[in-house]
Structure 1
Amino acid sequence: MDTRNQSNIVNLPPQQLSLIYKFIVETEDKLSLAQTHPVLSEAFKIDAGNHYELLDLDSLPVKDWPFIFSACGSTILGVMSYKVTNSIAGVMLAAKYCPNRHELFIAIRSKYWKIVKRHLDRLKKVDYLRLMNDYTPIDLMKTLLELPNLKTLKLARFNQEDLMPIKHLQQLQNLFIKSDYAVNMFQLCSTMSQLESLEITCASIDIPLEKKEPLWPKLKILCIGIEDYQTEMPFLPSLEMLHVTFSPDMELSELLGRSISDYSKSLQELRLNSDEITPVHADNAKTIGQLKSLKSLICSNMNNAYLQFIKLDQLQMVILQTSNNVTNSEILRLLRGCKNLRSLDVSGCRRVNKNVVAPLLKILKQHDVQPDDPLVLTVNFMSFGDAVQTTATDPNNNLLLIQKSNNIICERPYTALDASLEIEDLSDDSF
């Protein structure tokens, strides 16, 4: 290239030069060009914009990290890596180049903790911290106390003795704990009055009910995998979403206890996961039927006998997971009892098929459902076949929209339980 032309090009405003990168497909080619001249580097930064707002180190070549951090540091708000060695380098580069970083998702081990915490101390703006360990001993508290803006904390695989001291972080608004042992929810979180969301994958519930002050007055979202419960849950006045994974013998009525009548006026979303069908499910279905304020219900291993108890006028969305004993007739009964239902996912119900469509449309007309607010029915394509296409194009069926489930697992004999509480299960090799 003629050097005079090159000189003319770099004399253009970086804003104009940034348009060059729109025509370069490969990220590696963009980075190579950006490193040839400071002006082209500035243009790259403009083009990148918010692309590196959350920087996933594992998806980028290690050799490109220093340039990306130096060129885009001010726009990088978060850094993430599931690999220990990458995490260490990421923390060091973020501390040097990213004055506005707020989020940090990293994997750590005790032998590297001294290096990591030295740089964490310089990340005072961090308000969202996610740490993934492998039960190696790490003393977290001193470092966490040095992060005054910390509002969201997610911890995976920490020893109990290292985990329990975080109860002193009373400013936390969102807390996620993943462990293989039962965490006493009250002992860990009782003083965290600012909590708005709490997720514990393996929880033990033993809460003194004589407390006069309400626990967690701001808590809106509670997601827990219950290992055992010695007491019922108290009424949480702001709770809107309750997600529970429980053993087959657990009864929802015992968990909610004397607060069922209060929750019937406030709880808007309920999600229940269980591994198998038991007679207890009938009692749980009866309890669900008392929660009159529910707008969203996600549950597994239901059958015809249980669904008959669910008649809720406010209910707008239902997802039935791994419910292979549910039939067409019970889906119709559910719809009759929930006149405002507008989203129904039966892709986990292998016995529900296209024969349900005609009577279902009749019920929708009886409920005065309008074409601008139809029922969206999500189905297993193998059970509905051409009904998915014909209903979508038939003007006589405009009260119902049938769509194929995006979950590929639905095409298998049984649908898998959703694992929303899980942080990625990573082996040591991943780190």
Structure 2
Amino acid sequence: MDTRNQSSIVNLPPQQLSKIYKFLVETNDKLSLAQTHPVLREAFKIDAGNHYELLDLESLPFTDWKFIFSACGSTILGVMSYKVKNSMAGVILAAKYCPNLQELFIAIRDEYWNQVKPYLKRLKKVEDLRLTNNYSPIDLMNTLLELPKLKTLKLVRFNRKDIMQIKHLQQLQNLFIRSDHTVNMYELCSSMSQLESLEMEFASIDIPLGKWEPLWPKLKLLSIGIEDFRTEMPYLPSLETLHVTFSPDMELSELFGRSISDYAKSLQVLRLNSDEITPVHADNAKTIGQLKSLKSLICSDMNNTYLQFIKLDQLQMVILQSSNNVTNSGILRMLRGCKNLRSLDVSGCRRVNKNVVAPLLKILKQHDVQPDDPLVLTVRFMSFGDAVQTTATDPNNNLLLIQKSNNIICERPYTAYDASLDIEYLSDDSF
């Protein structure tokens, strides 16, 4: 192309020139062309649109970073990197070229923190900040206080001392803590009245007498691994979803305490994780049975005895994980007491097999389930075989849809006896 023709091309409006990039498949070709002239650079920005809205630094060659930041900086809303040195470079470039940055997901270390924090403070529009550390000591507070719009904070592998600094961030709406250190939930979050979601991997519950109300009036989701609790959990009026990981000897009734009657009217989703079955599980199952507003239940290590306590009219979804002691009869007992159940995952129950289908269909008919709103049963292929393909239903009354589970991770090795055919599965008076 001679100079005269090139001059005539760049005199075209950038909007029109941006169409050239539609014919270039390789990103390198687009970047090479864009760097030949300011007008072609502007055309590249138009063509890119929101393609670089969330910039994953590891997915791009280092040599292209500066140009992409400088050309598309105003449209970049998020930057992420899992490598420390890349993160440092990303923050510096974002501070220079990205006035509208809202999300920043980076890895940090104490030896680089003093270099990063002056640039991080300049990102005044950041709302979502996620920091990954290796437990190195980092003084976060002075820097985070410079981010007035910060609403979501995720801290991974920070030590307890540095985590506790953030208790002054009263504007936070979403807080996620993943650390090997146990953190007192009240001490960290008592002043965060705007919290809508809180996730802590290892938490302790110890709320001083007289400090129960008002605590976290807007909290909708709470996910905690409870290491110890010295007091019961206060009633959280907006709480809809509760995920709890607990020790085998923990009792739900003690956790809910005097608030169980209030949670019975408001809690909609409950997920429970425990390491092993203990006698306490029976009491926990009875407590679950009191939560009359519950719509979704995810739990592990259940057995037939525990399932009989779960009779909830509002319950729509149940996932049973690693529950090798649950048999067909246990599933049928639970289904009898949950007439609105429409999604049931028994892929973690190795003793539940295709012989459950016929009596299950009978219960669905008794509950007046309609073909346009069937029960979806998720199963292990090895236990159900051809029933997965045929759904084993009456073609004139399709009340049951059987599907194969894609998740095999949650199933622990099977150790219980698995009878080829259990008479109790087929007997109407056995459940």
Q: TM-score, normalised by structure 2?
A: 0.90
Unaligned runs of 5+ in 2: 415-431
Unaligned runs of 5+ in 1: 415-431
| SS of residue paired to 1:45 | helix
Q: Distance in 2 between matches of 1:18 and 1:345?
A: 50
Q: Mapping of 1:335-414 within 5 angstroms?
A: 335-391=335-391, 395-396=395-396, 398-409=398-409, 413=413
Question: For residues 410 and 153 of structure 1, do their structure 2 counterparts lie closer, same or farther at Cα, with a shift above 3 Å needed?
Answer: closer
Q: Which residue of 2 aligns with 1:221?
A: 221
Q: What does residue 246 of structure 1 align with?
A: 246
- Map 1:313-324 to 2 at 5 A: 313-324=313-324
Counterpart CA distance in 2 for 1:25 and 1:411 is: 44
The answer for the alignment partner of 2:43 in structure 1 is 43
* CA distance in 2 between partners of 1:413 and 1:25 (Å): 48
Deviations 1:318-351 (A, max 9, x none): 1111111111121122111111111111111111
Q: 1:357 to 1:51 in 2, by over 3 A?
A: farther
In the TM superposition, what are the counterparts of 1:254-269 in structure 2 within 5 Å? Answer: 254-269=254-269
SS at match of 2:123: coil
How far off is 1:78 after superposition? 0.9
CA distance in 2, matches of 1:301, 1:17: 62
Q: Distance in 2 between matches of 1:300 and 1:378?
A: 16
Q: Please give the residue correspondences for 1:7-406 in structure 2 after superposition, counting only pairs within 5 Å.
A: 10-211=10-211, 213-391=213-391, 395-396=395-396, 398-406=398-406
For residues 301 and 229 of structure 2, the distance between their equivalents in structure 1, rounded to whole angstroms, comes to: 22
Amino acid at match of 2:68: I
Offset, 1:257? 0.8
Q: What is the distance in 2 between the residues matched to 1:154 and 1:298? A: 24
Q: Separation in 1 of the partners of 2:342 and 2:326?
A: 19
Please give the alpha-carbon distance, in whole angstroms, between the structure 2 residues aligned to 1:189 and 1:158. Answer: 16
| Structure 2 Cα separation of the partners of residues 55 and 394 of structure 1 | 51
Taking the aligned partners of 1:122 and 1:230, their CA distance within structure 2 comes to 42
Give the Å deviation of 1:364.
1.6
Q: Against the structure 1 CA distance between its residues 148 and 294, is the aligned structure 2 distance closer, same or farther, given a 3 Å change threshold? A: same
2:239 partner letter: L
Q: Distance in 2 between matches of 1:38 and 1:80?
A: 27
What amino acid maps onto 1:297 in structure 2? L
Contact (CA 8 Å) 1:382, 1:411: kept in 2 or not? no
8 Å CA contact retained: 2:289, 2:310: yes
User: What fraction of aligned residue pairs are identical, expressed as a percent?
Assistant: 86
Q: Are the equivalent residues in 2 in contact too, given 1:381–1:411 (CA < 8 A)?
A: no
Distance 1:261 1:412, change over 3 A: closer
Worse-superposed segment, 219-228 or 347-356? 347-356
Query: 1:420 maps to which residue?
Result: none
- Summarize deviations over 1:338-387 as a string: whole Å, max 9, x none: 11111111111111222222222222222111222221212222222222
What secondary structure is seen at the aligned counterpart in 2 of 1:402? strand
Q: TM-score, normalised by structure 1?
A: 0.90
Determine the C-alpha separation between the residues in 1 that align with 2:404 and 2:46: 40
CA change 1:322–1:37 in 2 (3 A) is: farther
Residue 209 of structure 1 contacts residue 234 of structure 1 at CA under 8 Å; is this kept in 2? Answer: no
How much does 1:140 deviate?
Answer: 0.8
